[in-house]
Chains A and B, each alone.
Chain A
Amino acid sequence: MKFSIIKESYTGSVPEITFGKNRKVSFGGEKSLPFLFFEGEHPHKPLISFEVQDSPPQDYPKELAKVYSSVWDDPVRWAKLCESFGAEAIALRLMSIHPDTTDAKAEDVADKLKKFLNEIDLPLIILGCNHTEKDAEVLPIVSDVARGFNCIIGKAQEGNYKTIAASAMAGGHSLIAMSELDVNLAKQLNILITQMGFPANKLIIDPMCSALGYGFEYTYSVMERIRIAGLIQGDPMLSSPMVADVGFYVWKTKETQAEDENSQWGSLHERGIIWEAVTACSFLLSGAELLIMRHPEAVNLVKYFIEDLISTKEK
């Protein structure tokens, strides 16, 4: 008897997002659950962007400092280093604006960004500092400076989405909408943003990331539920591509920093890289199409993982 695979039928699909001005890159567009190539089209691989910060980071642990400390006082040099690692996109995080760091003014950041946009032609994600009020103040100005560069702006949250979404729309950018680990809130935020007239096919959901061992399961299951609602139930408000802001959460954990030579945890170098890679790969399985990562070796591992899965496509 001939063996035939039972296939799920899907009523929804994930919109494709393309960003960048001269150099463009795309992700999303799939019509079945992650990596189930036999059930539906997957026009793009998941995309990995390298995180760059606009000022020297105050919380990068040793393993990241080893890679970036020589360039981190200049975001342009930092981004060029990432490019030399094979980066296809950059996520520029404006940490300098956070009231707890240097509380930089929007105008100062705008100048920095202009210079950055002149020098770097990789597709760009511009992230605030996750401080609701400060992001609402700075991101609209940033969106305007980057007008025409077709960026991704983030992150709009329940408390500040109106100004951020309006300015992202005016600047012609895509937008990351972040809610706090709740599938219903993710849907609600997407409804509110699209009710303002923001195009649903330029929205990206951030269900709020976490690191392996630190709430990881919550993000994983919320992502799964979002993807199932979007693809199988055909819920248009939950079919957006998803981003996993992996590096930000992973490199805060004890496991990426503890140096106790006598512990049974093995090499810190390998441990940190693996922690980021495993977290990232797992979120690809739960449905993320866009990753924001830090360590180049972790990125390489994730790329290897993606290629390995994609090689099953032809078999």
Chain B
Amino acid sequence: MLIIGERLSVISKVVREAMEKRDAEPIKRIAIEQWKAGAHMIEANIGPAEDIGDEIMEWMVRTIQEAVPLPVSLDTTNPLAMEAGLKVHNNEFGKPLINSTSFDPERFIFLELAAKYNAPVIALTVGKGGLPRDAEERVEIALKLLEKAQEYGISLEDIYLDPLVLQIATSQSQAMEVVKAVRLFRELNDPPMKTIVGLSNLSNGCPKHLRPILNKHFLTLLMYEGLSAAIVNPEEVRETIKTVNVLTGKTLYAHSYLEI
């Protein structure tokens, strides 16, 4: 499973301040920590970043790739910032990931960028009309998105369908709808469609000590359904991923399996 390190996010105070001051040290340190904990890709979440988003994204991508030999997942709703990031991204370490498009016409620009830069893209299964009610509605939107993506000439293998994880504290029944959606998404194509979640949104608003517990157990359910990628805190889910891989036979068991 593709592990994308989530910690470089504008939501974090340390990261936000580093971004404002262009202070590379904390950015690099957090990138390296995630790389060492098993991340295959580092997310750069700069938020909407309306004014100088392009400058910030450019700086983030460069700073991250100076510290770690990994591709970057570019998370912004600002198309200029997205394109700036794609332009400077060092593809020697792998392709960047566009986070994200959805079935909202304002977000189709990201499909255009995915085609232009030959980059995989996350497709959130939400439309303009609000959050999806259940797994079936997510599938409906996914189908429309796939059709749209093909209009832009994007191959299905470059699309990661994201069922949108919601908060357990406010939308408890959505957890199993997301699990079901992962299963149904996979069935939309052969080979199965790729799927992705932003895991920690599940425990947003929950007491701090509960968050890792909720996240890890939810990831277990999602992995069982064949989830292909997750935006996570790699350190937090390291043991879960290794253990589920052993339980499902993807990795051969050895007493020291957690140490490698």
Contacts and interface: CB of A to CB of B under 8 A. Distances in A.
A188 B258 CA distance: 11
A237 B260 contact: yes
Nearest to A230: B252
B91 interface: no
Contact of A233 (B250, B254, B259): B250
A235 B252 contact: yes
A183 interface: yes
Contacts of A191: 254, 256, 259-260
B224 interface: no
Interface SS of chain A: helix, strand, loop or mixed?
helix
A185 B252 CA distance: 10
Contacts of A229: 252
B251 interface: yes
**What size tier do the contact residues of chain A reach?**
10 to 19
Interface string B240-257: 000000000011111110
B251 A188 contact: no
A197 to B, nearest CB: 14
Contacts of A225: 252
Contact of A195 (B250, B251, B252, B256): B256
A236 B252 CA distance: 11
Interface SS of chain B: helix, strand, loop or mixed?
loop
B260 A188 contact: no
Contacts of B255: 184, 188
The listed residue with most A CB atoms (<10 A of its CB), out of B250, B254, B255, B260, is: B254
Contact of B253 (A184, A192, A233, A236): A184
A130 B256 CA distance: 25
A185 B253 CA distance: 9
Contacts of B251: 233, 235
B254 A187 contact: yes
A203 interface: no
B252 A183 contact: yes
A238 interface: yes
Contacts, number: 30
Contacts of A195: 256, 259
Contacts of B259: 191, 195
A257 to B, nearest CB: 38
Contacts of A183: 252
A85 B118 CA distance: 59
Interface in A142-201: 183-185, 187-188, 191-192, 195
The listed residue with most B CB atoms (<10 A of its CB), out of A183, A188, A225, A236, is: A188
Nearest to A186: B254
B252 A192 contact: no
B248 to A, nearest CB: 12
Interface in B96-119: none
A233 B251 CA distance: 7
Nearest to A225: B252
A183 to B, nearest CB: 6
B259 to A, nearest CB: 7
Nearest to A188: B254
A192 B250 contact: no
A258 B252 CA distance: 42
Contacts of B254: 184-185, 187-188, 191, 237
Nearest to A237: B260
B252 A233 contact: yes
Contacts of B250: 233
Interface in B107-143: none
Contacts of A236: 260
Interface string A189-228: 0011001000000000000000000000000000001000
Which 3 pairs from chain A and chain B are nearest by CB? A187-B254, A188-B254, A191-B256
Interface of A: 183-185, 187-188, 191-192, 195, 225, 229, 233, 235-238
Interface of B: 250-256, 259-260
25 contacts: A184-B252, A184-B253, A184-B254, A184-B255, A185-B254, A187-B252, A187-B253, A187-B254, A188-B254, A188-B256, A191-B254, A191-B256, A191-B259, A191-B260, A192-B256, A195-B256, A225-B252, A233-B250, A233-B252, A235-B251, A235-B252, A236-B260, A237-B254, A237-B260, A238-B252
Given A187-B252, A188-B255, A225-B252, 18 more contacts: A183-B252, A184-B252, A184-B253, A187-B253, A187-B254, A188-B256, A191-B254, A191-B256, A191-B259, A191-B260, A192-B256, A195-B259, A229-B252, A233-B250, A233-B252, A235-B252, A237-B260, A238-B252
